[in-house]
Copies of this chain bind each other. A is one copy, B any other.
Amino acid sequence: MWLQREIRLAPRERGFHLVTEEVLGALPELSELRVGLLHLLIRHTSASLALNEDASAEVRRDFEAWFNRAVPEGAPYWTHTLEGDDDMPAHIKAALLGPSLTLPIGEGLLALGTWQGIYLCEHRDRGGPRSLVATISGEP
């Protein structure tokens, strides 16, 4: 069984945001699979997807703090500056975290750990809505 669908995520401010419910709500067919994989690709180069702690808003705020220090705006080595100070750091952050997630499906549910949730990592000041391609394969 194969299924592919675009998911449009509402715009978020710069930072790390939990979108597990928003993503799963768009994929009701997932519940029909005994075993399978869900693949998500974000179709942008300045936002990314991650899987991490879903209980504490502090954790997501600390992600933003660390990434802003590790990939600073206004550094003298940036040459691609035309699209704003937040643009080139956003590309680096997006590559570090990656544009996609592949997640196991078991008995109709995502087989994640207790504390794992899907993050939309918005690295631009005004990224706007973000588009995902979700691809599901598996066995009913």
> Does A52 sit at the interface, judged by CB under 8 A?
yes
A111 touches B133 (CB 8 A): yes
A91 touches B45 (CB 8 A): no
A61 partner residues in chain B, CB cutoff 8 A: 79-80
Interface size class of A (residues with CB under 8 A): 35 or more
> Does A101 sit at the interface, judged by CB under 8 A?
yes
A62 touches B41 (CB 8 A): no
Also in contact, A71 and B66, with CB within 8 A (given A45-B53, A106-B133): yes
A104 partner residues in chain B, CB cutoff 8 A: 4, 39, 41, 133, 135
A113 partner residues in chain B, CB cutoff 8 A: 42-45, 131
> Does A100 sit at the interface, judged by CB under 8 A?
yes
Main secondary structure on A side of the interface with B: mixed
> Does A10 sit at the interface, judged by CB under 8 A?
no
Name the interface residues of A108-131: CB closer than 8 Å to any CB of B: 111-116, 119, 131
Alpha-carbon distance between A91 and B100 when the two chains are bound, in angstroms: 18
Most chain B CB neighbours (cut-off 10 Å) among A4, A95, A112, A137: A95
16 A-B pairs in the complex with CB atoms less than 8 angstroms apart: A3-B35, A36-B135, A37-B135, A39-B104, A41-B103, A41-B104, A45-B116, A51-B95, A52-B99, A58-B80, A59-B80, A62-B91, A62-B92, A65-B77, A104-B135, A137-B137
